[in-house]
Structure 1
Amino acid sequence: MILYFSGTGNSAYVAKRIGKEVMDDVINLFEKIRNKDNSKLYSEDSWIIVVPTYAWRIPHIVQNWIENTEFTGSKDIYFVMTCGENIGNAGKYLKKLCLQKNMNYYGCAEIVMPENYIALFSTPTEEQAMEIIERAEVVIDKVASYIRNGEEFPQAKISIGDRMSSGIINDLFYPLFVHAKKFYVTNTCISCGKCLDVCPTNNIRMENKKPVWAENCTHCMACINRCPKEAIEYGKHSHGLPRYTCKKEMLY
């Protein structure tokens, strides 16, 4: 069974493509996470968790969901992480999670996809994004072949920088950067409520027909990137940057 969480479509596309290749069920975790649904799950086949990389580890909200959900049937689990550059030493923490869950860790695969973290980085143009996805598809197919054959993912060498990124930098990233204080809406907002619908933490509400952000943001960037009028900004950094969603994900 393939379980995925995705803010702007990268991990959704990877999960669906892998599902097609290995002929397995693909389940979006959005509603489960949003509704705090930790009901027991069962799969005869290996579990495959496909998620974006947040500061060189899996998102905290996904980690918390996994910790509080019972997985029955197969004890084997793969992790596939989409990222803009690399996943650092994420595997170290996933091994600990699997030990905690009494599951067999089959490795963590890295899939470089178009950057969507518009709060800190530059997002690609549509043409640039398609080129990145085209390069990623070869890697996705290779990942699918390991899963299909029941083989563990080969693991890359971990540098000191990787250890720092997934360790101390991740520890500092959430308290220092993961908040919604810089989100605001411009006059082009049409009060459609799309941002409320795509928020996995129910962190957005409407006041006077305009979105207002609370304190439970996970920085998935779904609201700002999926706004149909590009009416949401994040401080000054997002000004003029293209909004990114994975167009190919819509084909699956």
Structure 2
Amino acid sequence: MKNVLVIQNARLEGPGTIGELLQSDGFSMQTILAKKEKIPPLNHDLVLVLGAPESANDDLPYLKDEMVLIKEAAQKNIPALGICLGSQLMAKALGAQVYAGPKKEIGFYHNIIPDEKSSLFSGISSPFTVFHWHGDTFDIPPGAHRLAHSESYNQAFRYGTAVGLQFHLEVNSDIVQSWLDHTHEDLPKYISPSVIRSELDLHIGMVQSNMKAFYKNFKSEFGL
């Protein structure tokens, strides 16, 4: 049985759709609540690092531990997937800068443009639909390849067996609603929460479909 180490950085930012897909495929999942639990020794077939409101530049011991984990996984060629904050931690761990972007992206967007014909995005039309909730961005690490971008941001990269996604494909309706209900951000500065709620039924199915396609490609690419 393949086993997955899930690093959950925020109570409300669980693995969502990708967690359901992993469980349905019989993966054994070990979830670590990063703010409360220590990272175990890396004896896993896959590492999944999830998002949170914090910045990769925050001086927090558990975030530093996660970057050590990411570097170890990369050195051992263990597949790793970083989502949102996870991708920023991955970029920083691999030698790139993380910093505030020109504007926050929050809500459903149809703006992800693959840079090259990557097998990881096979079966997904371009530009494709995602859910965003981020203000920071990253440079592409030395030796990595940018896989996707939008007008204002790098959106995805690959470094060996490590893949970073700035955007959220893992979300479902419950997760999005929960984020909107509990956020401490002044959302109306960027987008009306009612707009996001009104778009849920219209767009969440496509986001989940894109997650399923990416997941299938990721598994195939890394022999999982």
Structure whose alpha-carbon radius of gyration is higher: 1
Superposition TM-score, scaled by structure 1 size = 0.41
Indicate the structure with greater strand content: 2
Q: TM-score under structure 2 normalisation? A: 0.45
